Amino acid sequence: MITNERQYQISKAQVAKFRAAIEAPDSSTRSLHPRAQKALREAAQSQLNDLAVEVADYERLRDGQLTAITIQPHQARIMRNWTQKELADKLAVAEQQVQRYEATQYKGVSFERLQAVADALKLRVREVITFEPL
């Protein structure tokens, strides 16, 4: 899950590296058994596919192409084109605190703080109760 511009740039660079590795395997893999070569190619393709989806999701969020969806606070921040620092400023906390919130997907955050984040991002909070079988 890409949560900020830095991760986005790194992920885009990784996509390019995976594409290059798949298109032109290096000489070290040529000595491998054909099945091993195939396994490496398939693993790289799988990683490329996953990363490409994450990059595309981030771009759709950032560009406002997603609207009426259930979203995480970090996704709303991206849709608003705010950095973690900008959200932190609106909450009057350090940028590192927003980074910690997002790294844990807001787990353990008090309801009051979560409501403040929602208010800053202009989100409507809806309570959902789900049944978890024992």
For the record, the structure tokens of 121 come out as 């991002």
Q: What is the mean pLDDT of each run of 10 residues along the chain (134 residues)?
A: 89 92 76 86 90 90 69 87 95 96 90 92 76 70
Residue 107, Ramachandran bin (φ over 0: left; ψ between -120 and 50: alpha; else beta): beta
Domain endpoint, select from 50, 66, 82:
66
Considering the domain architecture, whether residues 15 and 47 belong to the same structural domain is answered as yes
pLDDT computed for residue 69 by the predictor = 54
Instruction: Give pTM, 2 decimals.
Output: 0.57
**Host domain of residue 48:** 1-66
